[in-house]
Amino acid sequence: MNWTVSRHDLPLSAPFGISRGTSEICECVVVELTHEGTTGYGAVTPSAYFGETTETVTETLPDLLAAVDEVGDPHAGQRIERLCREVAPDQPAARSAVGIAVADWAARTLGVPLYRQWGLDPERVPATSYTVGIDPPEEMAAKAHAAVEAGFGILKLKLGSDDDRARFDAVRAAVPETELRVDANAAWDADEAVAKAGWLEAGGVTMLEQPVAADDVAGLARVTDVTTMAVCADEACQTATDIPRLADACNVVNVKLPSAAVRGRPGGWFTLPTPTGSPRCLAVWSSPAPRFPPPSTSRPSSTTPTSTARSCSMRTPSRASPSRATGSTSGRCRRARARAGSEPGKTGRFPASAVNRQ
């Protein structure tokens, strides 16, 4: 089994700003895994915020790829995943790059695309939203308008600056009929988030992502209690072990594949048990923001995933799938079900979203 690892700095078509700073390049690590004449490809864009960089990923990959070689069969995905977790338990981004390469190799050896191997329906390819980074209000409005003209029906706005209201109002005026989501990237304190949730909801925002600091679970719950928008935990949820403590504080958690090193067949809903054994209602998405559509009587199996993209000179489409918890007596669960168009006491409809790096 042969492999190569390479690093690439992909220039963004325009600087991309969030509350923590502005980036002009996308740092990417690519893995090529060759076995029996077939090559599988994997890639990851690690985030220093979550503790991994291109340097740490590049240094870790040889040990992970040696683990793949030790197993000797790229079709043995579960064994490979277990061994890789033993080798690098705290580096999910590096493991993710290897997992993608192994999955790609396995599908190629069977002569089918990965979506066919996993049984995905090409007619259900996720709609892609467009993320508008922090810029002066007029520039954000122009980018939002251009994205809608290009065919994007959902926009995600980055906020968390000293002039959020002006930025939001400029975008809403430019695209009055477009679905908007907002991501503050943990920039606000709870009081500020509660205040801003009011005018964001009035402006038609369907989802508010990580409005408060990652460690402020009580603040996140305060925001969820005062709004009918879906409230999403992002920076607060870095591994699966974070989910129980967030279950009563929000409606949704954002699972980034490079952070969680999620691998395997996408799809399916699951129930999140509490310590007492009773289920809580928390929608868990394979990466970014979920889309809460108008009321629908569709069954969970007919949900329409969405994805989030941002402007980049080189971008690879990605797919994800829904998964969720069902059945709860919590108020947040009932509100989430109501927004999703289900009757009280019944499961709601939570379409999922796909990969978004920030």
Quick: pLDDT tens for 115-132: 999 999 989 877 778 999
Please give the positions annotated as active site: 158, 256
Where in the chain are the domains?
2-115, 122-340
Express each pLDDT in 273-316 by its tens digit.
444 443 334 555 444 333 333 333 332 333 333 344 333 322 22
Q: What pLDDT was estimated at residue 295? A: 31
- Taking domain 122-340, whether its CATH number is 1.10.150.170 is answered by no
Q: What pLDDT was estimated at residue 126? A: 72
Low-confidence residues in the chain, pLDDT < 70: 257-358
Q: What pLDDT was estimated at residue 259? A: 63
Q: What pLDDT was estimated at residue 240? A: 83
Express each pLDDT in 227-253 by its tens digit.
999 999 999 998 888 999 999 999 999
Q: What pLDDT was estimated at residue 125? A: 79
Shortest CA distance to 254 belongs to which of 207, 293, 193?
Answer: 207
Q: What is the CATH number of domain 2-115?
A: 3.30.390.10
